[in-house]
Amino acid sequence: MILNKSAQNLIKPSDATSWISCIRRTWLNKHQSKNIEIEIGGFEKLLLDIGLAHKIAILTKLQQQYEVHQADSVKHTRTLMQRGTPVIYQGQLLDEQEGIIGYPDFLIRHESGQYQPADAKLSHSENKKGIQIQLGLYRRILANHLPAMVFLGNGRTATLGDEINPLVDTFVMNMKQLFTMHEQPMAHYSHSKCRICPYYTHCRPEFEAKEDLSLLHGIHGRTASNLAAAGISTITQFSNSSAETIPDTPYLKGHKRKQRAILQARSFLTGQVFQLDSITLPKGTWVHFDIEDNPLTSSRRRHVYLWGLLTPSYSSKDFEYIWTDDETQDYTGWIHFLEKIEQYRKQYSSLILAHYSNHEKATIRKYAERYDMEDHTTVLWLLGDNSPLFDLQKPVQEQLILPLQGYGLKDICKHKDLVNFQWKNKHSGSQWSVVQFNRFLIETDPKKKGKLKTEILDYNRDDVTATWQLEKWLRNCFQTHTHFTPQSLIKLK
Ligand code: SF4
């Protein structure tokens, strides 16, 4: 089949990313993209900049070994290939018959005279589907059996050969089907994907009108499809069901899990909070703890640039922190953090180091491994059986059903009817913090640098203050059952 050759109707390697994430998004890209403005956020821009720097570094290396020519069109690429140019930078490949266009970072001439496609990727692994499809498409257009090369972010060069062909076949076949579809494909809500999708405002009203079950926290799109097939397709219908009548489906098996899901549906419809059991918080002196780390380092090892702590009596002047200016101070920052913990251990008879999610504990474990300090006294205490670390997310997830689609710290704290704590900077977040820190790294003006540091510290102070507010909210509302009606304490069998 010869496809219409307009750019919109060509299969592009960049389609792979949206195809893996959501088929509807790919369809909308092909059929409606003119009406949608796609805004690139600060974090995505940072990734693009770092990706470009990586590509330029690979280009420089290749230029030191080979003659490299930059291509500016499909025709020019063909000419350079016919001339036997050793390395073609930013080549453009087109297979008109199949309707596929590709833009490999490099085309490297093999001793056989054929060309190998190569891309520079920040990823540490060649096993990501998106990378495999992109490189597989270049191979398909080049129509030779040479493996594609991937210059990974950790310095390794990987190769991808015929083993990726089945995945590429599926992608191409599915893309061709999407081109011919006149109606957008059916889709379910995904809390992680839809909120950051440019088509969110397009899709959300439909999900709400249909009361799609995937709008419920914990109900996967596949589960929603299976339940619809079993005759339960709306949140109202689901909330009126009993656990006994709901069939077992992937991700929704067992009586207790189904009861939780039904309460989640009731909470969604009414805004009611359900408490499954009383919450017991550990006794002691609480210090709230949150880290900021940068995954986009040159070594690709996460660097904690800020270890933030809120000590009694929890006012803004009780915020303490360990800050490092860059990755070269990584070890110093870690040691100062351990010293700070020892200081608290002596200062407070029974220390509780409260954090939200497993990230802080996992990071301490990684740092202990990184510096071969698993047997360090403070590390043994932090990670041992009598650890002072306490993850506040656990009682929330185990004992509460909240009228939320996500149970992240910001979801709970920002909600007006729940904790109702608002961050001073409305645009701040963990990715925002990474962007600010990367700006801090390259800023040379001391005044501007200081301002960036202050903004990051303010954000982290709000984070630890939020976990403190969450602690207070849990104590006030769920330890004594004073805030919510007695009926809201529901014991699951
Ligand atoms: S909003 Fe969600 S369902 Fe709609 S296109 Fe985007 S990711 Fe897909």
DSSP secondary-structure letter at 40? P
Q: Name the percent of the chain lying above pLDDT 90.
A: 88
Confidence of residue 3 (pLDDT cuts 50, 70, 90): very low
Query: Is 172 inside a domain boundary?
Result: yes
Task: Count up the domains in the chain and report the number.
Answer: 3
Which atom number of ligand 1 is nearest to the Cα of residue 203?
A: 4
- Tens digits of per-residue pLDDT, 381-408? 999 999 999 999 999 999 999 999 999 9
Query: Is 2 inside a domain boundary?
Result: no
Query: Is 411 inside a domain boundary?
Result: yes
Confidence of residue 447 (pLDDT cuts 50, 70, 90): very high
The average pLDDT across 189-213 equals 95
Confidence of residue 33 (pLDDT cuts 50, 70, 90): low
pTM score: 0.88
- Tens digits of per-residue pLDDT, 68-80? 999 999 999 999 9
Cβ burial of 270 (10 Å; 0-12, 13-18, 19+) is exposed
The average pLDDT across 190-219 equals 95
Taking the centre of ligand 1 as the mean of its atom positions, its distance from the CA of residue 189, in whole angstroms, is 7
Same domain, 311 and 264: no
Chain centre to alpha carbon of residue 332: 28
Computed over every residue of the chain, the mean pLDDT equals: 93
Domain end: 156, 180, 204, which one?
180
Domain end: 151, 180, 209, which one?
180
Confidence of residue 37 (pLDDT cuts 50, 70, 90): low
Same domain, 415 and 474: yes
Predicted confidence at residue 486, as pLDDT, reads 39
DSSP 51-119: HHHHHHHHHHHHHHHS-EEE--SHHHHHHHHHHT-SEEET--EEETTTTEEE--SEEEE-TTS-EEEEE
Taking the centre of ligand 1 as the mean of its atom positions, its distance from the CA of residue 358, in whole angstroms, is 28
Predicted confidence at residue 453, as pLDDT, reads 98
Residue type, 181: M
Query: Is 186 inside a domain boundary?
Result: no
Residue 329: pLDDT above 80?
yes
Residue 463: pLDDT above 70?
yes
Looking at per-residue pLDDT, the higher value among 360 and 154 belongs to: 360
Q: How far apart are CA 27 and CA 351, in angstroms?
A: 54
Query: For residue 58, what is the domain's CATH number?
Result: 3.90.320
Same domain, 294 and 343: yes
Q: Domain of 141?
A: 7-180
Same domain, 449 and 364: yes
Same domain, 219 and 294: no
**Which has the closest alpha carbon to 100: 78, 131, 133, 71?**
133
Ligand 1, atom 7: closest residue by C-alpha: 194
Domain end: 180, 201, 232, which one?
180
Please say whether the beta carbons of 150 and 131 come within 8 A. Answer: yes
Helix extents (H) in 348-386: 359-370, 377-383
User: Directed axis angle between helix 430-442 and helix 446-478, to 10°?
Assistant: 160
Residue 24: pLDDT above 80?
yes
Q: SS3 helix, strand, coil % of the chain, rounded to 5?
A: 50, 15, 35
Confidence of residue 488 (pLDDT cuts 50, 70, 90): low
Taking the centre of ligand 1 as the mean of its atom positions, its distance from the CA of residue 245, in whole angstroms, is 30
Predicted confidence at residue 220, as pLDDT, reads 94
Q: How far apart are CA 491 and CA 225, in angstroms?
A: 29
Same domain, 132 and 250: no
Ligand 1, atom 5: closest residue by C-alpha: 25
Same domain, 136 and 262: no
Chain centre to alpha carbon of residue 315: 32
Please say whether the beta carbons of 391 and 409 come within 8 A. Answer: no
Query: Is 279 inside a domain boundary?
Result: no
Which mutation among 15, 20, 24 tests ligand 1's pocket best, with the greatest number of atoms within 8 A of CB?
A: 24
Predicted confidence at residue 8, as pLDDT, reads 67
- Tens digits of per-residue pLDDT, 116-169? 999 999 999 999 999 999 999 999 999 999 999 999 998 999 999 999 999 999
Predicted confidence at residue 479, as pLDDT, reads 78
Same domain, 161 and 68: yes
Query: Is 492 inside a domain boundary?
Result: no
Could you tell me if the CB of 200 is within 6 A of ligand 1?
A: yes
Predicted confidence at residue 9, as pLDDT, reads 81
Predicted confidence at residue 34, as pLDDT, reads 57
Same domain, 320 and 220: no
Query: For residue 347, what is the domain's CATH number?
Result: 3.30.420.10
Could you tell me if the CB of 187 is within 6 A of ligand 1?
A: yes
Taking the centre of ligand 1 as the mean of its atom positions, its distance from the CA of residue 11, in whole angstroms, is 20
**Which has the closest alpha carbon to 412: 193, 217, 197?**
217
Same domain, 327 and 297: yes
Same domain, 203 and 295: no
